[in-house]
Structure 1
Amino acid sequence: MPPLKSIDLPPYKEGFGTIFLKSQFCGKPKWAPKTTDLSGKVAIITGANTGLGFHSSRQLLSFKLAHLIVAVRSVTKGEEAASKLRKQYPKAKIEVWELEMGSYESIQSFARRAAALPRLDIAILNAGLARMEFVTNAKTGHEEVMQINYLSTMLLAILLLPTLKAKSTAGRLTIVNSGTSYRATFLNRNEIPLLPSFDKVEGFVPDQRYACSKLLGHLFFVRLVDYISADDVVVNLVDPGLCKGSGLNREAQGVFGVVVAIGERLLGRNLEVGASTYVDAAILKGQESHGCFVMDWDIKPFANMVYESEGQPVIDRLWDETLKELDFAGVRGILEDMRNRK
Structure 2
Amino acid sequence: MTFAGFLFRQAFVHPPQIPSDVTLKDRTVIITGANSGIGLEAARQCVQMKAKTVILAVRSSSKGEAAKKDILSTNPGSSTDVEVWLLDMESFESVLAFGERASKLPSLYIAMLNAGVFKFEWTTSPTSGIESSLQVNHLSTALLSLLLLPVLRKTATDTGHPTRLTITSSEVHMWTPFKEQKAEKILDRLNDKEFFGDYMDRYSVTKLVNLIFVKELASRVDGEKVVVNLINPGSVDTGLHRDGNKLIQTFDRVMGRTPDEGGRLLIDAAVVKGRGTHGLYLSEAKVTNMSAFVGSKEGEKVQKRIWDETIGCLRKHVPEGQLD
> Post-superposition shift, 1:21?
2.0
3-state SS, counterpart of residue 43 of structure 1: strand
Query: How many Å separate the matches in 2 of 1:66 and 1:88?
Result: 17
Does 2:182 correspond to 1:190?
A: yes
Structure 1 unmatched runs, 5+: 1-13, 334-342
Which residue of 212, 217, 225 corresponds with 1:224? Answer: 217
Q: How does 1:86-165 map to 2 (within 5 A)?
A: 86-89=72-75, 90-165=78-153
Gaps in structure 2 of 5+ consecutive residues: none
Q: C-alpha deviations, 1:66-96, integer Å up to 9, x for none?
A: 1110111111110111122233334110110
Which of residues 286, 299, 303 is equivalent to 2:291? Answer: 303
* Aligned residue in 1 for 2:68: 82
Corresponding residue to 1:171 among 163, 172, 181: 163
Distance 2:59 2:79 in 1: 25
Q: Deviation per CA, 1:108-139, whole angstroms, max 9, x where unpaired? A: 11111111111111111111000111012121
SS at match of 1:188: helix
Contact 2:14/2:261, CA 8 A, preserved across alignment = no
Q: How many residues align?
A: 314
Cα shift at 1:150:
0.4
Shift in Å, 1:141 = 1.9
CA 1:280–1:185 in 2, change beyond 3 Å: closer, same or farther?
Answer: same
Matched-pair contact (CA < 8 Å) for 2:242–2:249: no
Matched residues in 2 for 1:260 and 1:194: separation? 28
- Root mean square deviation, CA, Å: 1.5
Distance across 1 between alignment mates of 2:100 and 2:195: 37
Deviation, 1:202, is 2.1
Where 2:55 maps in the other structure, the secondary structure is strand
Structure 2: how far apart are the matches of 1:46 and 1:152? 11
**1:277 maps to 2:265:** yes
CA distance in 2, matches of 1:221, 1:322: 11
Residue 210 of structure 1 aligns with which residue? 203
Aligned 1:45-60 pairs, distance under 5 A: 45-60=31-46
Q: Which residue of 2 aligns with 1:292?
A: 280
From 222, 234, 247, the counterpart of 1:241: 234
Q: Give me the whole-angstrom Cα distance separating, in 1, the residues matched to 2:222 and 2:4.
A: 34
- 3-state SS in 1 of match to 2:193: coil
Contact 2:59 2:88 in 1 (8 A): yes
How high is the TM-score relative to the length of structure 1?
0.88
Q: For residue 235 of structure 2, what is the amino acid of its counterpart? A: L
Q: Distance in 2 between matches of 1:181 and 1:228?
A: 23
SS of 2:140's equivalent?
A: helix
> In the aligned structure 1, how far is the partner of 2:291 from the partner of 2:34?
27
Amino acid corresponding to residue 155 of structure 1 in structure 2: L
> How far apart, in 2, do the equivalents of 1:270 and 1:49 lie?
15
In structure 1, what is the equivalent of residue 246 of structure 2?
258
Please give the alpha-carbon distance, in whole angstroms, between the structure 2 residues aligned to 1:142 and 1:192: 18
Look up the equivalent residue of 2:205 and give its one-letter code.
Answer: C
Instruction: Determine the C-alpha separation between the residues in 2 that align with 1:251 and 1:193.
Output: 30
Which deviates further from its counterpart, 263-272 or 24-33? 24-33
- The alpha carbon displacement at 1:332 in A equals 5.3
TM-score for the superposition, normalised by structure 2:
0.93
Q: Give how far 1:331 is off.
A: 6.2
Q: By how many angstroms is 1:297 displaced?
A: 0.6
Q: Using the alignment, how far apart are the partners of 1:139 and 1:55 within structure 2?
A: 30
1:20 to 2:12 alignment:
no
**2:18 is the counterpart of 1:32:** yes
Greater Cα shift, 41-50 or 19-28:
19-28
Residue by residue, what CA displacement relative to the aligned partner does 1:175-201 show, whole Å, maximum 9, x if unpaired?
A: 001001110121121111221111222
> Residue 9 of structure 1 corresponds to which residue in structure 2?
none
CA distance in 2, matches of 1:128, 1:164: 22
Q: Measure the CA separation in 1 of the matches of 2:255 and 2:307.
A: 35
* TM-fit CA distance, 1:324: 0.8
Supply the AA of the counterpart residue of 1:270. Answer: T
